[in-house]
Structure 1
C-alpha cells in the first residue's frame, strides 16, 4: 500500500499497520503487505494505519474497503492421448489445471485438423472417423469457473500415424488330407495396399503375395509339427505377424 503523511515538527514518521478482514482484525498481520493465504474470494479487506513520530501516535487512518474478486482458472498442460495415435483410435484430451479460489473448473474444447477448426467437435474426445493417416490434430481448451474464463491453451500437434494391417483370419492348425489350404484375410485401416509374405514354413509351402492364399502339397514324410510365420505389410512398411504350428497326422 502507499501512504502520504507529514509531521508538523518535521520528525521522521513510522507506521503501525493492522489488517482487517470482514471487520475483524487479522492477528499477526502488522506489516505494510498482506500475504496471500490470508483472504479468499468475496472477503472484504481493509488496513488501519497509525502514524508515529516516536513520541506520540497520530490519528489512525482506515483505508477504503477492497473486495477480493474471483481469480480465473489456469491451465498448466494440455495434451492429446494416446501420444501415438492411429485411425482406429479415439483421441482424448488430458488437462492439468488449477483455480486459485478452489472453484470447480469446466472446460470448452475446440478441435483443429490440419489447422482448420472442426466446428461440430466440442467434446473432450475426438471420435475415430474424423481423421486419417497423416492428419495433424490439435485441441484448444478454455477453462471456466462459471464466473470468469481463464486463458485458453493449445496442445501440441499430433500426427496420425500409419496403421499396420490387421490379420482377420485364423489358420487351420491340423490337416489329415494331402493338400493344406489357408486363405489369409487381412485389411489395412488406412486403406493402403497390402502384401502377403510367407516368412517361414515347411518345404514346398507357397503363399500368393497378392491374395494371401497358402497352399501346400503334403507328403507322408511331412508327418509331425511345422512352424509357420506369415507377414502382412503395407506400402509404408507397417506390418503384422501371425505365427502358428501346423500338425500333420495321416491316419
Structure 2
C-alpha cells in the first residue's frame, strides 16, 4: 500500500469527549467561516489548508477549531455559514468520530442553508460513512493523476488563477467518494473514480473530497489556486432557487381505466432546464413505483371508483431541488361500460324472420350492465323498436332487399358506453307457402283425368307458380309434371293403384316447403264419358 511520509512527527494529545462540551461557553468565532481538524495536528504537519483559508477570507477573518474541543451547538448555529472539516492523514479517525456523534445535527445545519467542505485523505482507519443519504469515503484508493470532469465548473475558473484542469501528485488523493447522488467534479484520470464531488442538501451544499494537501500536488501554483478556489466556491455557494408554482391533475374527473397526468408550473434559474420528480398518492398514501408524470388507473391497485388521487412534485435544476408541492386531489368517478361485440342473427333473414341482437360488454367498476337498442332500416331509425329483437313481419320493419342494422349502448347505473353499430344484414326473398292441396275426383276410374288444386300465399306479394310431381304407389311417374294426370294413359294408373301428387309453390327465386296430397285409389268402374271415349268405332278404333 502506498503511504505518504509525514513531514513532522505528530504528538498525540488527549481527546475531550463531546458530551463534556455541553456546559462550555460558546467560542467567539472570527467571521462566520470555520476550519475544523483534530488536535492530532495539521495533516502531514503542513499549513497549506490554513494558507488557503487566509487567501479566501483574509488572515484573522476565519476561525480555527478542533474536533475534540469545539462547542458543537455554536459551531452548527446560524452564525456559521461555512465549515471546512479536514480528516486527512492522522485526522481521519477523529473526523469519523465527530461525524458519527453529530450526523443529524450536521445534516440539519447544511439543509438549513450551511455550506460544508468535507475532505479526508486518511492514513488510518478503513474509510467512513460521510452521511447525507449514503455518501461513502473509500480508503485506500490512491490517485496519482487527477483531472476536471467539467472544465467550466467554477472551481476551475477563479477567483484564483491559473488552476489548470489536470494535476499529478504522490499522491493527489488517498480516497474516493461515491453514492448518495453526488455530482463528480474531479476524477482519477486512470479509472474515473471520483476524488471531489458535490451535492445540494435542502437549502445547503456539501463538497466531498478524498484529496491530500496541495503541497503534494503539481503544478504547484495551479494546485494552490485550486485549493483556494474549492474553499471559495464551497463558502459562497448559493443554491439556485427552484419553485413549483402549481400542480394540477388532468383530467379532473378520471375514470377507473383512464390515465391521469400531472401538469406542473415551476420557475428556476434562467437557462437551466427543469426536470421533475413525481410521487403519486392514493387516499394520501404513496403508490409504490408510481413516480412518472402519468398514472395509469387501469393498473391493479392504482385507483378505483371513489378513490382520491394526488401527486407530489419536486422541480430540479442541476443541484437545486424545490420544496415538494402536492396537487389538489381528484376523485375517481364512475367508469362507463365498454361495448365489446355486437352481432345480428340470422345473418340471412327473410321478411318473416325475427332478428336478434347479441351484445357483450364489460364495466371497469363491476357494475351491472343493461343495453339500449336502436334498430335501423337502410340507415334510418325504426321508431318504437328498442328491444333486443326485431320482427320483420311487422309492417314497416323490413321488406325484401332492405338492409337492417342495430346500434347499442351499454349502460350502468349512471354512464353509457360509446355506441357500437352492428354489421348490416340484408333481407332476402321470402318463399311462398302452400295453404291447401287436393286431388279430384277422389274415387277415379282408370280412364279418369285427375286434377290437382293448390293454393299458396307469398309474403312479399310475388307471383306464384306451382311445380307438380305425380306418384303411383309412391313411385314417381316420369313426365307427369302438370296439374292434371290422365289415368287412361298407359302406366299412369290402373285399378287398385294409389295416386298422389307432390306440389311446390315458387316465386321468382324461392320455393315453398313441398306438400303431398292425400292418396286417391283408382277403381275399375268406368265413368260414362270416359267409356264413351273408349267405345269401339266401326273401324275398330277408339272414338
Using structure 1 for the length normalisation, give the TM-score: 0.72
Q: Residue 109 in 1 paired to residue 109 in 2? A: no
Contact 2:404 2:424 in 1 (8 A): yes
Q: Residue 166 in 1 paired to residue 433 in 2? A: yes
What corresponds to 1:220 in structure 2?
494
Output the CA distance in 2 between the equivalents of 1:2 and 1:203. Answer: 88
Q: What are the ranges of 5 or more consecutive residues in structure 1 without an aligned counterpart? A: 209-213
Return closer, same or farther for 1:10/1:160 CA change in 2, 3 Å cut-off.
Answer: closer
What corresponds to 2:326 in structure 1?
62
**1:125-144 matched pairs, under 5 angstroms:** 125-127=389-391, 128-130=393-395, 131=397, 132-144=399-411
Task: Identify, as 1 or 2, the structure richer in helix.
Answer: 2
Q: Residue 242 in 1 paired to residue 517 in 2? A: no
**1:86-235 matched pairs, under 5 angstroms:** 86-127=350-391, 128-130=393-395, 131=397, 132-168=399-435, 178=445, 182-198=452-468, 201-203=476-478, 205=480, 207-208=482-483, 214-217=484-487, 218-220=492-494, 230-234=503-507
After superposition, the C-alpha distances for 1:27-84 in whole angstroms (9 at most, x for unaligned) are 2222232223222222111112245668686532211101122333343444432211
Task: Identify, as 1 or 2, the structure richer in strand.
Answer: 1
Contact 1:227 1:243 in 2 (8 A): no
Contact 1:167 1:185 in 2 (8 A): yes
What corresponds to 1:44 in structure 2?
308
Contact 1:204 1:216 in 2 (8 A): no
What corresponds to 2:184 in structure 1?
none
What corresponds to 2:25 in structure 1?
none
Return closer, same or farther for 1:231/1:40 CA change in 2, 3 Å cut-off.
Answer: same
Q: Choose between structure 1 and 2 for higher RCO, CA contacts under 8 A separated by at least 6 residues.
A: 1
Q: What are the ranges of 5 or more consecutive residues in structure 2 without an aligned counterpart? A: 1-261, 471-475, 525-543
Which secondary structure state, in structure 2, belongs to the residue aligned with residue 138 of structure 1? strand
Return closer, same or farther for 1:194/1:21 CA change in 2, 3 Å cut-off.
Answer: same
- Structure 1 residue 19: deviation in Å? 1.4
Output the CA distance in 2 between the equivalents of 1:223 and 1:53. Answer: 110
Which secondary structure state, in structure 1, belongs to the residue aligned with residue 368 of structure 2? coil
Output the CA distance in 1 between the equivalents of 2:385 and 2:421. Answer: 15
Contact 2:351 2:460 in 1 (8 A): yes
Output the CA distance in 2 between the equivalents of 1:65 and 1:55. Answer: 29
Return closer, same or farther for 1:206/1:6 CA change in 2, 3 Å cut-off.
Answer: closer
Return closer, same or farther for 1:72/1:242 CA change in 2, 3 Å cut-off.
Answer: same
- Structure 1 residue 233: deviation in Å? 0.9
Q: CA RMSD in A?
A: 4.0
Larger radius of gyration: 2
Which secondary structure state, in structure 2, belongs to the residue aligned with residue 239 of structure 1? coil
- Structure 1 residue 195: deviation in Å? 0.5
After superposition, the C-alpha distances for 1:12-36 in whole angstroms (9 at most, x for unaligned) are 7654432111122222222232223
Of residues 18-27 and 67-76 in structure 1, the stretch that sits farther from structure 2 once superposed is 67-76
Aligned residues: 242
